[in-house]
Amino acid sequence: MSGLIEVVGRWWQTPDQFHTFSRYLEDRGFFTACRVLVGGTAFWMGLVLLSARFSDVGPQGTFWRAVNLTVIVLCLGAALVWWVFPPTPLWSYTFVVGSDIAIAAAAATDSEPLGRLIACVVFASIGGYIAFFHNPKLQVGHLVFASMVTVLSGWTLLFGPAADVGLGLAKIAVVMATIIVIPVVSQIVLAVLGSDATTSDIDPLTGLLNRRGLARRVNDLMDAPITESDALLVVVIDLDRFKTINDVHGHDVGDSTIMRTALRIRLWTTTSALTARMGGDEFVVVERVPVNAIARLEGQIRSAMDGATDDPRTSASVGMAVRAAPRHPDESVDDAFAELFRVADSAMYEAKREGGNQVRASLV
């Protein structure tokens, strides 16, 4: 029982997967196809609802026909957004919530309980989408809402004037199974892909980004306008005499030193910082900071990286490069990062030449 609780607890803490899975699809050339598919599904649902307007058991009365028309417009609009604009996390969350509300509204417009239950089956596709792109908390909220709507949709089969309890229970159970099983299966598939989709960007020893993961994410952090109040900072950290630690004390102690260094870096970086282990004992941090906070940050780095009480004793040479000037019109994000990295790397080697255990900063 405790093992099950632990597994559920780990699942519940799973972070949002939008950026990770989007990049996974994009790297393999599937992201555009995925956008077309999701948009096409929304478009198709709009056409299905449009055809329901011409059915004798479709939406009846001015109000429900207006609701039906509103949902049709929203479906076609959502399809257009998916096809034309690159999706963002905010849009994706909006799409999920809006889809749940639209499905509930579409089910309510049907005058027949079986028709309402059929409409609820569409909840399953939203659950599958959440399993791949978002987090368990959103999934649970979706499933609770979808279950409530499904039960209400089949309520008259259970308690209405022409109730058929056996039929009602059977149909509600089938729909409930569909909207729950598909997200669970999707979650299992995601777990199988997880070692590739998620950990391919992660250094297995420290849990930080690796070189590939940093390269994928750095554009997102650097693309915004650069100002003195939101300057770009690149920090290069290299442990002093790390080869000696490995040679004298063994690789297990060396690994412990690397992990301890990663923890120390987390002490002075913000949650929005990109922190990567580039290989061996070299680390890189990319962050946005105000220029007037650099001096204070230098002190925080010196304090956090101090390994005087470690056994064996450790220290680090740190180079910082700060840029507050906007990019030139013909300067790419990659070029700007490469220049900042070069300056920070040079500053780190300057600190190392002067004996190590120092921080050197340069303004680009």
Tell me: do 130 and 153 sit in the same domain: yes
> What residues does 319 pair with on adjacent strands?
236, 360
What tens digit of pLDDT does each residue of 3-15 get? 667 656 666 777 7
d(CA 282, CA 236): 7
Residue 190 has pLDDT above 80, yes or no: no
Is residue 257 situated within a structural domain? yes
Tell me: do 91 and 156 sit in the same domain. Answer: yes
pLDDT at 164: 87
The proportion of the chain whose per-residue pLDDT surpasses 90, expressed as a percent, equals 49
Tell me the two tokens of residue 95.
């799409």
Number of domains composing the chain: 2
Q: Are residues 169 and 222 in the same domain?
A: no
pLDDT, tens digit, for every residue of 132-164?
A: 898 889 999 999 999 999 999 999 998 888 788
pLDDT at 341 over 90: yes
pLDDT at 6: 67
Claim to verify: residue 54 and residue 186 sit in the same structural domain: yes
In 3D space, the residue among 96, 90, 114 whose CA is nearest the CA of residue 38 turns out to be 96
Give the number of residues written for the chain. 364
138 lies in a domain? yes
CA angle, 140 then 12 then 96, to 5°: 35
Higher pLDDT, 299 or 16: 299
Please indicate, yes or no, if residue 171 is contained in any of the structural domains.
Answer: yes
Question: Which pLDDT tens digit goes with each residue over 56-74?
Answer: 877 888 999 999 999 999 9
- Looking at the fold, whether 170 and 297 belong to one and the same domain comes out as no
282 belongs to a structural domain: yes
CA–CA distance, 24 with 212 (Å, rounded to integer): 12
**Structural domain ending residue among the three candidates 201, 236, 266:** 201
| 190 shares a domain with 215 | no
Instruction: For the chain, give the mean pLDDT.
Output: 88
Identify whether 66 is part of a domain: yes
Which residue range(s) make up the domain with 65?
Answer: 2-201
Question: What integer pLDDT is reported at residue 7 of this predicted model?
Answer: 59
**Predicted confidence (pLDDT) at residue 196 exceeds the cutoff of 70:** no
Reported as a single tens digit per residue, the pLDDT across 307-331 is: 888 888 999 999 999 998 888 888 8
Output the domain CATH number for residue 242. 3.30.70.270
What is the rounded average pLDDT of the residues 13-41? 83
In this predicted model, what pLDDT tens digit does every residue of 84-109 receive, in sequence order? Answer: 998 988 999 999 999 999 999 999 99
User: Based on the domain organization, do 167 and 257 belong to the same domain?
Assistant: no
Last residue of a domain, one of 156, 178, 201: 201
The reply to whether 119 and 179 lie within a common domain is yes
